[in-house]
Amino acid sequence: MQIINSSLISIQYFRKDIKTICVPANELAEKINSPKLANMVILGAFIKVTQILPLTEVKKSLNDVISIHYMHLKTKNEEALELGFDFVQD
């Protein structure tokens, strides 16, 4: 399986031999005025597809991985995770 940021990669470059999930991560991140959080949008999609962890646990873990200097961005990171998570259909 591959998750592609379809904002950046043309469909002609997708592999045909494995399942591909296209997420317009840049556009979704722009919706919350945080284009730098496209990676978090992709992470949210990954969490939904793989069900590797509950989204709530990943959100809680942000306290441990975000530097104190950037803690003011925690809410935006959570929003970006939710956008990616919600974008992927069950």
pTM score: 0.90
The count of structural domains within the chain is: 1
Stretch 55-66: mean pLDDT: 95
Q: What is the pLDDT of residue 12?
A: 67
Identify the residue with better confidence: 70 or 14: 70
Taking only the tens place, the pLDDT of each residue in 10-36 is 776 667 788 889 999 999 999 999 999
Q: Return the exposure string of 22-54: e unless at least 16 CB atoms fall within 10 Å of the residue's CB, then b.
A: bbbbbebbeebebeebbebbbbbbbbbbeeeee
Stretch 33-44: mean pLDDT: 97
Domain span at 67:
2-87
Name residues whose C-beta falls within 8 Å of residue 21's C-beta, 6 or more positions apart in sequence. 1, 2, 3, 4, 45, 49, 88
